[in-house]
Amino acid sequence: MLLLVAWRNLRRNSRRTIIVLVSIVVGVVSLLLYDSISYGMIRQMLDNSVGASIGHIQIHGKGYNDNRVIQTSIPDRGRAENAVRGMRGVKAWSSRVPSFGLLSSAQGSSGGVIVGVDAHSESRVSSIASTIVKGRYLEGEGREVVIGRALAGKLHVDVGDKVVGMASTRGGEVGSELFRVVGLFETVSADFDKTHMFVPMSSAQEMLDMGGDIIEIAIVLEQPEQAERIAADLRAQLGPDYEVLTYRELVPLLVAQLEMYDQMLVVIYVIIGLAMIFGIINTMLMSVFERVQEFGVLMAIGMRNAKVFSMVMIEALCLAMIGTVVGVLAGVALTLLLREVGIDLSVFAEGLRSFGAGAVITPELRFNGILAAVVTIPLTTLLGALYPAWKATRLQPVAAIRHV
Amino acid sequence: MEVIRLQHVEKIYADNGVPVTALRDVSLSIAQGEFVVIAGPSGSGKTTLLNIMGALDKPTSGQVLLENEDVSTLTSAQVAAFRLEKLGFVFQAYNLIPVLTAMENVEFSMMLLGMDKATRRARALEVMRELGIEELAYKRPNEMSGGQQQRVAVARAIVNKPSIVLADEPTANLDTHTGAQLLDIMENMNRVHNLTFIFSSHDPQVIDRARRLILLRDGSVEKDVSGTA
């Protein structure tokens, strides 16, 4: 019956109830949108990073990640490639010869990573082939190079122009090679575009005096969450002379950011909760003060303080439940809609690219985000109702009945 | 059987820091089944005395025994439980819960006692039928006249079978005819169920029906006459 009284009391002043409900709904929708957009952005940064060139797992020679020199090549290319080829859950893989060097044109030069790749297998691992904005992707074994559009601008070159790549050879000499620019790519990361250039594997091996050796195998998995298991299997197969790292170890900052995300979200929840709680206190207090005489009568006929307290809290709980359900439905619908169309932030494209995020953000709905809103908002509403409910119990029946 | 005993009850209010004596050395006893009217001019202490008898207010000094229980020794929860089980209240302004129907208003105090819905409903209907207001069962207070609301309030007051019903100016907002009808009902309840009724009123038609009249003046009992009706 207390629930019935609470429910009818909410309908009694429908305008006030609607105002409180709107504030709860806005709070829930804001939380869900903030969560899905922020998480989607960080996820996108990670996916871009993994998709651009890193892959889910990389294999190197022992010690390569501590000192990235071409002398630390993969000890036995055939063995490593066979291990990857036979591994279940591997979607695609690409052998590479990355080296740090200098790319020069007649008008300028720039340092960066010259990556020797097999054009076909690389196109299945990295997003370079799909992000060509001018010219074409690598085709074969000729002396061709695809570079980032940003790097092309820096070197003042375009498709068809010649550039010279220079890097230290395995023997410590300076190796150089003349390449013709066949394509320009533009990924979502401005930094990547300024520093990476892709050439055919044979050209890189020749320039670096590597013979048939490779330095890296990048692997893309069918299910990224299997990365730890598959990496462990590869480690077991290849032994201690190989270094097998997952993307979690290769981009630890982004992974940490993703993992820290739930903790960062708590701060946002506290801020939104604080903004809401004062509105709830104010509204519930008004609701109590409007019914002082009624509470006085209820107390006079024998209603205990605990029941009076419960009555106010049940009203707040009703508000919280309705507001949260409507808010979650609206928030999920809005997030799904935005996920479908994407949030176009082209005006901030440059800034977003410098963080490795695209100009179109795709919100990502998370169960944790919904759960947090479903727990936080009703809890905040109930916290906000505590003081008004306590005030109701402090009323003295005699004075309250006379209250006008 | 004695249901109320007041011994040397004094009540002093602080009005803007100035002490005002509302009741002075009031001692009286009321037995089960009495039909008592507390009368007196405005400010004589009628409502204060009724509130003390109803355990809604505490005396500054003196002792209040309700059904031989010293209410000053009870916790607020025990006092609330005592009021719920032993006392019924009828207020001048009816004070029904506006969001509940007449039936739900009558049921409410039974709900506080923890009765199940079927028992509550049956008992509420029984009392409403006895008071001739069963046709109002599904009406809200704003759909009823003052007299109808006050009859529902009486039903609410008696539904838990209290031993005492305290009525503060119950006819003050009613016309003479409706007031008389309400008093008929209360007299009937008193006769049939041996319910103790204590009124605070200065309405002549209430005073005329008193079988015991306690006249207050300046917080003291000026007259306590039985067999007046």
A-chain residues near B88 (CB < 8 A): 301
Tokens representing residue A334 in the block: 């809005």
How many Å separate Cα B188 from the centre of its chain?
Answer: 16
Q: Which helix (H) or strand (E) holds B93?
A: none
A-chain residues near B56 (CB < 8 A): 300, 397-398
Place of tokens 């009021």: B83
Pairing of strands A162-168, A109-117: unpaired
Q: Which helix (H) or strand (E) holds A269?
A: helix A252-290
List strand residue ranges (DSSP E) for B122-217, in order.
164-168, 196-200, 212-217
Amino acid identity, residue A255?
V
Residue B228, pLDDT above cutoff 70: no
Which is nearest to A358 in space by CA: A49, A15, A54, A16? A49
Q: Reduce the DSSP state of residue A21 to 3 states and report it.
A: helix
Report the residue from A1, A11, A299 with minimal CB separation from B111: A1
Q: How far is A389 from chain B (nearest CA, A)?
A: 17
The count of other CB atoms within 10 Å of the CB of residue A258 is 16
Which is nearest to A381 in space by CA: A262, A278, A268? A278
Chain-chain contact of B89 with A8 (C-beta, under 8 angstroms):
no
Report the residue from A8, A302, A305 with minimal CB separation from B109: A302
A264 band by pLDDT with thresholds 50, 70 and 90: confident
The count of other CB atoms within 10 Å of the CB of residue B198 is 24
pLDDT digits (tens, 9 = 90+) for B8-37: 999 998 888 888 899 999 999 999 999 999
Q: Which residues of A148-177 are buried (b: 16+ CB within 10 A; e: fewer)?
A: bbbbbebbebebeeebebbbbbbeeeebeb
Q: Which of B48, B50, B83, B140 to mutate to test the interface with A (most CBs of A within 10 A)?
A: B83
Helices and strands: H and E segment counts in chain A? 15, 12
Residue A404, pLDDT above cutoff 80: no
Q: Report the length, in residues, of chain A.
A: 404
ipTM of the complex: 0.88
Q: Say what the pLDDT of residue A39 is.
A: 83
Residue A156, pLDDT above cutoff 90: yes
B-chain residues near A401 (CB < 8 A): 91, 95
> How many CB contacts within 8 angstroms connect chain A with chain B?
68
pLDDT digits (tens, 9 = 90+) for A56-98: 999 999 989 888 888 888 999 999 999 999 889 999 999 999 9
Q: Which helix (H) or strand (E) holds A184?
A: strand A174-185
Q: Is B74 on the interface with A (CB under 8 A)?
A: no
Q: Which residues pair with A146 in a beta bridge?
A: A183, A198
pLDDT digits (tens, 9 = 90+) for B123-142: 999 999 988 899 999 999 99
H runs (alpha helix) in A291-366: 292-300, 305-341, 349-354
Average pLDDT, chain A: 87
